[in-house]
Structure 1
Amino acid sequence: MDKGVYCLLFRNRPGEIRVGSLGSVPFAGGWHCYVGSALGSGGLARAERHVRLSRERDRSPRWHVDYLLLDPRFTLSAIVSAPTSRGVECDLARLISECPVPGFGCSDCRCRSHLFWRPENPTEEVTAAFRALGLACRYQNYQERE
């Protein structure tokens, strides 16, 4: 499986979710973008794990993003991904850094966050960020686009 970087696009209703060590986190309704790395041994199959978790919702959360995948207010709408051997996860997060959820998904780096809120569907913005990094991205739709 290819290694790379990905962005999960969620549509969500507002609410508060207890997220591991972050505690209770308020989420505005709209859209959230989560930037993740797939440079480990499973490569981009990690993104497919997120899809399975969002559908089955039968496991305990391991990472911050799992709390969103398991919460019924969050719907995984799409995944934008790109194969790369470069560590560009933080670069991608910086390109879409507006409206961060502080401390989310960035415990292993110096970024302010790897999760960002948008009032509208951020697909075009996210794919433009991939292109700005010289990455040819793939878009996988899991829900009706709005």
Structure 2
Amino acid sequence: MCPKGTYCLILKTGGCTVSVGSLKSIVFEAGFYVYVGSALGPGGLKRMHRHQKFAREKDKKPRWHIDYLLIRPDFEFVDAVYTCSEKHIECCIAGNLQGNYVSNFGCSDCSCQSHLFYRLTYPVNEIKSAIEEIGQKPRTLSENDDS
């Protein structure tokens, strides 16, 4: 796997309400949620694996918006799609996804409306297309693509 990049976490829920820090109480409809994040700092894409482990063990205090979903038993970590890049491209990917979103989620450090998107059906192909549209190669965590 490459050291740094941008990732999209795919989570699934049967529906629930979650209190998410300063965003307060949010109603999440049943379906899939895509969170777009960057991993450009120290540790790089290890952050994606941290999220996966966090979702599995649900044993830490939430720090970021996405953590509030990862620790909930109502949310299942399904997969992650990522791309290798040392550039800030998460907002471009989020811009390509659009559609139904949770306002102000995960985007406190940019001018995007959201970095969390709702889909009724499994969105992996849509995410791959959103990444390809900006000239990047998508990879999935489940495929364990190390090329």
TM-score when scaled to structure 1? 0.94
Could you say what secondary structure the match of 2:69 adopts?
A: helix
Amino acid at match of 2:78: S
Residue 56 (str. 1) matches residue 57 (str. 2): yes
Distance 2:128 2:69 in 1: 22
Q: Which runs of 5+ in 1 are unaligned?
A: none
Amino acid at match of 1:39: L
- 1:52-91 equivalences under 5 Å are 52-91=53-92
Offset, 1:41: 1.1
Distance 1:55 1:31 in 2: 17
In the alignment, what sits opposite 2:102?
Answer: 101
Aligned residue in 2 for 1:37: 38
TM-superposition CA deviations, 1:38-64 (whole Å, max 9, x none): 111111110000011011111000000
Spell out, residue by residue over 1:92-126, the C-alpha distance to the aligned partner (whole angstroms, 9 max, x if none).
Answer: 00000110100100000000000000000000000
Paired residue secondary structure (1:121)? coil
Aligned mates of 2:124, 2:16 — CA distance in 1: 23
SS of the equivalent of 1:2 reads coil
RMSD over aligned Cα, in angstroms? Answer: 1.1
Unaligned runs of 5+ in 2: none
Cα distance per residue 1:10-59 (max 9 Å; x no partner):
11111100000000001011000000001111111100000110111110
Where does residue 137 of structure 1 map in the other structure? 138
Amino acid at match of 1:13: G
CA distance in 2, matches of 1:3, 1:140: 14
Aligned residue for 1:49, secondary structure, equals helix
Aligned match of 1:113: 114
Percentage of identical aligned residues: 42
Q: How many residues align?
A: 142
In structure 2, C-alpha distance between the alignment counterparts of 1:140 and 1:61, rounded to whole Å: 23
Distance 1:7 1:29 in 2: 19
TM-score normalized with structure 2 length: 0.94
- Structure 1 runs (4+) greater than 3 angstroms displaced: none
Residue in 2 that maps onto 1:92:
93
Whole-Å separation in 1 of the counterparts to 2:98 and 2:3: 26
